[in-house]
Structure 1
Amino acid sequence: MPKISHDISIAGLTIDRKSKIPLTKQLYEGIRSAIINRQIRPGQRLPSSRTLAEDIGLSRNIVLLAYEQLTLEGYLTGSVGKGSFVSEDTYDSFAGQAIQQNKPVAPPDPGTEVQLPKLDQVSAVYVKRETSKAIVKPFQNPVPALDHFPFQSWSKCAGKIFRSLEFLQLSYDDAQGCYPLREAIAAHLRINRALSCEPEQIIITNGTQQALNLIASLLMQKGEQFWIEDPGYINAKLAFIQAGGIPCYIPVDVNGIDLDHACIHYPKAKLAFLTPSHQFPLGGTFSIAKRMQLLEWASKNKMWIVEDDYDSEFRYSAKPVPSLQGMDHYQRVIYTGTFSKVLFPGLRIGYLVLPNPHLTQAFKQAKAFADRQNAITDQLILNEFIKEGYYATHLRKMRVLYKKRQDHLLELIRKHGGELLRAEKQGSGMHIIAYLQENQDDQQIAAILDQAGIITTALSVYSSKFKYPPGLLLGYTAFTEKDLETGFFKLLAILKEQHP
């Protein structure tokens, strides 16, 4: 570990001049305790003897004597002119002492325990979610092709923004989001998704999840019903449940949700969460006729529709289906989108398109309360990336690349899957579903694959009420053809072991 060159201060270091313990001994014990209890870490530089003496009101000789004793015992290293550093070997040599000095952790006082809200209603997926740094492995989904991201173009835009930052841009910005970026998003959505929107209707969010949380907090009242596709997006369901909503599971087929089932069984629902352009995870598309019927129902029954257009940018065969929002003349549709899947997950920029000024103002206030605003520099860089045409160019290239990668994976399944795997071509999206044999437990298979370093998700995880054939979601967009082949044959070998 490299030595940290800057001095540190030692909080909590006190000297009692009324004590019978010599001042040098008190100082020695205080620093030694800070090292053993990991308040000061290996490689960190202590204050100079002169600085520490001034800070705590002791003579420099007392500090020098304490430092000398700590150095003799191996806690510190250093030399004249370079300073005193905590030894790199401290925790190996004195681990036992550290354990002895650490007091046992007392149980929390009654009433202070942290409880996860509504744990009995929340899927185990919620509490088991991976929160550490993600390592991308086949067939993780949805991950874009980071190996093809135009880093040079992005860096060029970033450099331009940082060279031209103005004083006002370093202060708080509009909670609704950077206006030039909202202009760029509105123009893109009008042309490519047939939305009816202006910059004033858009709220920039920290990814789709914040958008869903804002919707749930403002539009979902405790005890109200909401439609959710089954199978469907788990995080959306959890957001509305935590707001007090009651899920109404709607079956799905190749044409999207069964609208008749929803209207007959749950006519009092106040909100519907849908992925009409590319149903997640099955991939169906909601027909134009059904969309019109849904919009009329929503208007008549005062129901909000949340349209999650999560991967509509990646359509490989047919012409993109117009958004539900673009057909909405009743102001009932709230549209959500994200750049995380198109560009890179770490960007964390999503957006909401609200149907009227009153709702937009309410969401703006809720966004400001949640986190004040998205990082202004990220928004400015993204706007520059779009304005210079890099975004549109990247999209075109990724559509070609992703189609090629999907075709390659499907060909592997067709040639080698036999009776173990079957899959169908998807006209859009970032994953396919590989269906297993009817008698297999897809969650058990996914767990075994995970232990072998193959990341898949069982289709049944997304279903709460209705039963579908066992299957695995296989992401393909982030992986080269060689990676797909290596992962596929490893997956196939494991399936053969489970059913020889």
Structure 2
Amino acid sequence: MVKRAKPGKRPEIILNQNDSIPLYRQLYERLRAEILAGQLEAGARLPSTRILASTLGVSRNTTALAYELLLLEGYIESRVGDGTRVAHLEYGRSFHTTRKKYVTKDVEPQQTQLSRRGELLVTASSASEPVNRTSTDLFRVGQPDVAYFPYETWARLVARHARRSLQAVSLYQDAQGYAPLREAIAAHIGITRGVHCSPEQIIITAGSQGALDLVARVLLDPGDAAWVEEPGYQGARGSLLAAGAELVPVPVDGEGIDVALGQQLRQDARLAVVTPSHQFPSGVTMSLQRRMALLAWAREVDGWIIEDDYDSEYRFSGRPLEALYGLDSARRVLYVGTFSKVLFPSLRLGYLVAPPELLNGLLAARRFIDVYLPPLEQMVLADFIAEGHFIRHLRKMRQIYLERRNALIDALRHELADLLDVVVPEAGMHLVVWLPANVNVQAVAGLISKHGLDISFVSQFGRRPLTREGLLLGFAGTPPEELRAGVHKLALALHE
């Protein structure tokens, strides 16, 4: 039943007895809204609790409780012999009016006053968005195929720990992360990547992005110079910008980042972020000569190197190359890895391997950011690795992605050999094809979009103009027949 009443000439008050909100709370909110909106003017007399209860057809306790809340919060005043009146709330009323104007569709909101650093982050975030956004996931970069993930196994491990283990980890946990997971990671990367470390050097993070952000916060002061690969991963640039760093784009060629040119640009840089095993977006592998030069630079200037081991798990020929971390005798390299791309993207679990002397500072910052990650998924992942499920899934997906990579390469060579130079990747989940020199990139983008394709350009991941534009074609998340159909659409667009 709905109760209505009009106190004097004031706006109608409607209370709904079927609502889950108590009647006294409904009455309080209606009166409060009318006071803030100026519909009940300052100094206006309100009916007594008895009269209002009779008018509304509710108990006097309902009106008394509503008035008590309004009185305690200063919206009304009550004096002996003068009854109850609306209080003077010029500040509150102007605030409410301003807020109503802000959300009105016909009025444009005021420009957000971000800091200079905040504006840079918005720009960097916008630059990383794909140029042609459509509903299809065809050719989407960095997207694994999650259909093959062993969800039943994962669910069984989740249920096991939810039943047996949660109580044991219900209190505050170690900021470094779940110890058995760190032990499993140390064993895995020691064997597969040549990263020999102790579990005490590992910090569990929210994906690789969490690790990049943590390192940038701790090792950089505002204004410090930091090398970034050009073109390179926008997530790394965003973390550095958030720390107030001055970005120094260092070009990448067939051997990886050009260390000599980086030294000419800013020898005194504090830090360098690199993807040596599988550079993003070009896919090149850093040569041994460049690796040694980079380590020598870090030793000379007391700089730091963040090694983002992007997509290294998916190498299609030979044994995965040893990580840069394994060549570092001066302890200047911080190694970053993630499970999001290998297992499924919503699993925001990554890790950072840091020199022992940096751990106190990194963990101190971690406690002020998010303290630590929720333990349940960490426990599940530890068992997933220890019981061999991780390696089995990795081997299966490597074979599937190899088949898809080869199907994409064959289709490109069959339909677009006259227009595109295809770079065959030895690792990862995408490849790069280079367009003819001096091509009209905007025209290409328009034609690609016209044919319903969502393809990223190499130039999106850099700040300097390219002499030749390239397209990034992801293949991991798409079956071979769909890749072939997508290449046919791309051929129609480019030949047009």
Partner of 1:105: 102
- Contact kept in structure 2, 1:144 and 1:341, CA below 8 Å: yes
Query: Within the alignment, does 1:205 sit opposite 2:193 as a pair?
Result: no
Partner of 1:288: 288
Partner of 1:454: 453
Offset, 1:128: 6.3
Q: Residue type of the partner of 1:360?
A: L
Offset, 1:349: 0.8
- Contact kept in structure 2, 1:214 and 1:363, CA below 8 Å: yes
Query: Within the alignment, does 1:412 sit opposite 2:433 as a pair?
Result: no
Partner of 2:14: 27
Q: C-alpha distance in 1, partners of 2:177/2:490?
A: 44
Q: Give CA deviations for 1:44-93 in whole Å, capped at 9, x if unaligned.
A: x7239xx64798696898369xxxxxxxxxxxxxxxxxxxxxxxxxxxxx
Offset, 1:219: 1.1
Q: C-alpha distance in 2, partners of 1:458/1:278?
A: 18
Q: Residue type of the partner of 1:234?
A: Q
Partner of 2:177: 177
Residues 310 and 63 (structure 1 numbering): CA distance in 2 closer, same or farther, change over 3 Å?
Answer: farther
Secondary structure in 1 matching 2:14: helix
Q: Residue type of the partner of 2:14?
A: L
Q: Residue type of the partner of 2:402?
A: K
Partner of 1:386: 385
Offset, 1:229: 1.1
Q: Residue type of the partner of 1:181?
A: L
Q: C-alpha distance in 2, partners of 1:444/1:212?
A: 36
Query: Within the alignment, does 1:62 sit opposite 2:57 as a pair?
Result: yes
Secondary structure in 1 matching 2:57: helix
Query: Within the alignment, does 1:192 sit opposite 2:187 as a pair?
Result: no
Q: Give CA deviations for 1:204-249 in whole Å, capped at 9, x if unaligned.
A: 1111222111111111122221111111112212321232222222
Offset, 1:319: 1.8
Residues 258 and 103 (structure 1 numbering): CA distance in 2 closer, same or farther, change over 3 Å?
Answer: closer
Bigger-Rg structure (1/2): 2
Secondary structure in 1 matching 2:341: coil
Normalised TM-score (structure 1): 0.77
Offset, 1:136: 5.9
Partner of 1:218: 218
Q: C-alpha distance in 2, partners of 1:52/1:157?
A: 47
Q: Give CA deviations for 1:333-377 in whole Å, capped at 9, x if unaligned.
A: 011111111011100111111011x31121112122111211211
Q: C-alpha distance in 2, partners of 1:449/1:369?
A: 45
Counting aligned pairs with the same residue, the percent is: 36
Partner of 1:47: 20
Normalised TM-score (structure 2): 0.78
Secondary structure in 1 matching 2:117: coil
Partner of 2:138: 138
**1:488-499 to 2 correspondences below 5 Å:** 488-497=487-496
- Contact kept in structure 1, 2:434 and 2:471, CA below 8 Å: yes
Q: C-alpha distance in 1, partners of 2:450/2:246?
A: 35
Q: C-alpha distance in 2, partners of 1:453/1:495?
A: 13
**1:326-345 to 2 correspondences below 5 Å:** 326-345=326-345
Partner of 2:402: 403
Partner of 1:79: none
- Contact kept in structure 1, 2:222 and 2:243, CA below 8 Å: yes
Aligned-residue CA RMSD (Å): 3.2
- Contact kept in structure 2, 1:208 and 1:350, CA below 8 Å: yes
Q: Residue type of the partner of 1:481?
A: P
Q: C-alpha distance in 2, partners of 1:460/1:301?
A: 31
Offset, 1:440: 2.1
Q: C-alpha distance in 2, partners of 1:419/1:335?
A: 41
- Contact kept in structure 2, 1:53 and 1:63, CA below 8 Å: no
Q: Residue type of the partner of 2:400?
A: L
